[in-house]
C-alpha cells in the first residue's frame, strides 16, 4: 500500500533546491541545442528543467556508464599485483524518470545481481533515490502499455509524481521515498479522495492515447511456438548498418566488453565499455573465429534476447516500450517493426 501526498507545483523548485543540498540531483534538462537529456543539475534557477519531453537517453549511463574504470592495478618487481577498485558513488536523486526507464532500472537490478553481484553497479544503485513521473501523455513511439511497464507504475519507485495540473500527486513506494517525505514534510499535504480520482482519470486518459499498437504478448507466444522465417532476419539484417545506436539508447541493453589499458609497464586500468550484440566484433574470438558470423544472426540474437529469452528467464520481456530504438534507427530495424513482421 503506497501513501499519497500532494505537492503544489509552485513548490517543486524549492523542494528540488532543498534536495540538492543533500544529494546530487539528476533530471531531464533541455540543453542549448534543444535536446532533452538527463543531466546533473547545479542550479535550479539556471536550468531549463523539461518534464514535457522524453529524454533522448535514459538514466542507464549514471548507473552503468558507457565507459568506466573498474579498478587500477600495480605490479612490483616480484610480480605481486595490487588492485584498487574504483569505488566512487554519490548519493543521487533521479527526478522525473518515466515509468519505462524506471522499469529498466528494475531489470538492471536483476541482471547485475544474477550470478556475481556487480559491485560497481550496486555501489551507485544503493546510493540512488528514484523519483518517477507518470506519463499523462505517451510520446509518439511509446508502447509501455504493451510491455506492462507504464504509463503509470504500481511499484518499484521510491516516489512517483502524477501531474494533476496545478499540483502533483506524490506516492511513496519504498522506505527511501518515505524518508524524503518525512525530511521535507512542510512541502507535502495528505492527498484526498478527489486527488486519487484525478490520478485514476489521468491514467485512463493516458491509456487511451497510445499511438502505437504493438502486440508484445502475441509475439512472445509466436516466438515460443518455434523459429520464425529466415527471410525476416535476412530483411532486417540488410537494413542494419551496425551503428549500435539501438543498444546505446536502449535502457535495458547491458552488454559490455572489458579492456586493460597499460599506463606504465607495471601499472594500468581495467575498463568496462558498452558493447552491442549487433556489432560484428561482439562474438569474435581470439584468432578471428566468429561463432555468430552473420549480421542476421546478430539481429536475431538482439530480438530473441529481449522478447523470448528474457520472457522465459524472468517472466517478462526486457523491452520496456520506451520507443527509443524506433526513433534512432535510420534503417528501420526497430522492435516495433520486428514484432509486426513476426506476428504477420
Ligand atoms: S538496428 Fe539500426 S540502430 Fe541498431 S545497429 Fe542496426 S542500424 Fe544501428
Ligand atoms: S528495445 Fe527499443 S523500445 Fe524496447 S526498451 Fe529498448 S529502446 Fe526501448
| Predicted confidence (pLDDT) per residue in 18-51, tens digit | 999 999 999 999 999 999 999 999 999 999 999 9
pLDDT in tens, 252-292: 999 999 999 999 999 999 999 999 988 888 888 888 888 77
pLDDT for the residue numbered 68: 96
Mean pLDDT of the chain: 95
- The rounded Cα 329 to chain-centroid distance in angstroms is 18
Question: Which tens digit of pLDDT belongs to each residue from 81-93?
Answer: 999 998 889 999 9
Res 205: pLDDT: 98
Q: Whole-model pTM?
A: 0.95
Place of cell 528501420: 332
| Ligand 1 atom with least separation from CA of 276 | 5
Q: What is the pLDDT of residue 32?
A: 94
**Ligand lying closest to the C-alpha of residue 323:** 2
Determine whether 303 is exposed, middle or buried from the number of CB atoms within 10 Å of its CB (0-12, 13-18, 19+): buried
At 1 the pLDDT is: 55
Residue of 240, 295, 323 best suited for mutating to test ligand 1, as the one with most atoms within 8 Å of CB:
240
Which residue ranges in the chain fall short of pLDDT 70? 1, 293
For ligand 1, the distance from its centroid to the CA atom of residue 326, given in whole angstroms, is 10
Ligand 1 geometric centre to CA of 187 (Å): 45
pLDDT of residue 185: 97
Return the residue matching grid coordinates 516500450: 321
CA 323 – CA 56 distance, rounded (Å): 11
- CA of 245 relative to ligand 1 center, distance in Å: 6
- The total number of residues written for the chain in this structure: 344
In this prediction, residue 294 carries a pLDDT of 77
Q: Which residues line ligand 1 (CB under 6 A)?
A: 240-246, 278, 328-329, 331, 333
Q: How far apart are CA 26 and CA 20, in angstroms?
A: 10
Q: Which grid cell is 62?
A: 549514471
Long-range Cβ contacts of 312-317 (<8 Å, 24+ apart): 312/224, 314/107, 314/110, 316/147, 316/148, 317/147, 317/216, 317/220
From 129, 179, 133, 162, select the one nearest 7 (Cα to Cα).
Answer: 162
Atom 2, ligand 2: residue with shortest CA distance? 325
Ligand 2 centroid to residue 264 C-alpha, Å: 41
The pLDDT score that the predictor gives to residue 87 is 80
Ligand 2 pocket test, pick from 210, 236, 320, 331 with the greatest ligand atom count within 8 Å of Cβ, gives 320
Report how far ligand 1's centroid is from the alpha carbon of 72 (Å).
Answer: 33
Per-residue pLDDT, 285: 82
Rounded CA separation 326/16 (Å): 33
Asked if 129 and 92 touch (Cβ cutoff 8 Å), the reply is yes
Amino acid at each position: 500500500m503506497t501513501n499519497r501526498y500532494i505537492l503544489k507545483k509552485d513548490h517543486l523548485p524549492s523542494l528540488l533546491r532543498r534536495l540538492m543540498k543533500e544529494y546530487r540531483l539528476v533530471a531531464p534538462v533541455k540543453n542549448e541545442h534543444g535536446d532533452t537529456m538527463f543531466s546533473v543539475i547545479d542550479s535550479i534557477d539556471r536550468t531549463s528543467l523539461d518534464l514535457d519531453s522524453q529524454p533522448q537517453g535514459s538514466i542507464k549511463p549514471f548507473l552503468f556508464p558507457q565507459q568506466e574504470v573498474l579498478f587500477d592495478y600495480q605490479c612490483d618487481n616480484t610480480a605481486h599485483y595490487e588492485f584498487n577498485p574504483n569505488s566512487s558513488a554519490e548519493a543521487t536523486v533521479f527526478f522525473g524518470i518515466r515509468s519505462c526507464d524506471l522499469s529498466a532500472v528494475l531489470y538492471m537490478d536483476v541482471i547485475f545481481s544474477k550470478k556475481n553481484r556487480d559491485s560497481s553497479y550496486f555501489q551507485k544503485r544503493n546510493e540512488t533515490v528514484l523519483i518517477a513521473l507518470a506519463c499523462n501523455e505517451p510520446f509518439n513511439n511509446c508502447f509501455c502499455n504493451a510491455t506492462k511497464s507504464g504509463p503509470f507504475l504500481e511499484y518499484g519507485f521510491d516516489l512517483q509524481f502524477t501531474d494533476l495540473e496545478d499540483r502533483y500527486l506524490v506516492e511513496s513506494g519504498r522506505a527511501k521515498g518515505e524518508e524524503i517525505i518525512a525530511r521535507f514534510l512542510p512541502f507535502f499535504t495528505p492527498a484526498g479522495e478527489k486527488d486519487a480520482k484525478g490520478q485514476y482519470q489521468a491514467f485512463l486518459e493516458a491509456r487511451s492515447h497510445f499511438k502505437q499498437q504493438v502486440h508484445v504478448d502475441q509475439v512472445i507466444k509466436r516466438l515460443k511456438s518455434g523459429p520464425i522465417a529466415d527471410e525476416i532476419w535476412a530483411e532486417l539484417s540488410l537494413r542494419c548498418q551496425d551503428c549500435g545506436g539501438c543498444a546505446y539508447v536502449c535502457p535495458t541493453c547491458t552488454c559490455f566488453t572489458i579492456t586493460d589499458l597499460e599506463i606504465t609497464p607495471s601499472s594500468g586500468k581495467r575498463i568496462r565499455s558498452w558493447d552491442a550484440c549487433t556489432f560484428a566484433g561482439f562474438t569474435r574470438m581470439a584468432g578471428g573465429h566468429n561463432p555468430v558470423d552473420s549480421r542476421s544472426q546478430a539481429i536475431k540474437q538482439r530480438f530473441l534476447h529481449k522478447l523470448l529469452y528474457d520472457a522465459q528467464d524472468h517472466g517478462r520481456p526486457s523491452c520496456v516500450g520506451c520507443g527509443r530504438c524506433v526513433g534512432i534507427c535510420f534503417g528501420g530495424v526497430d522492435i516495433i517493426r520486428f514484432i509486426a513482421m513476426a506476428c504477420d
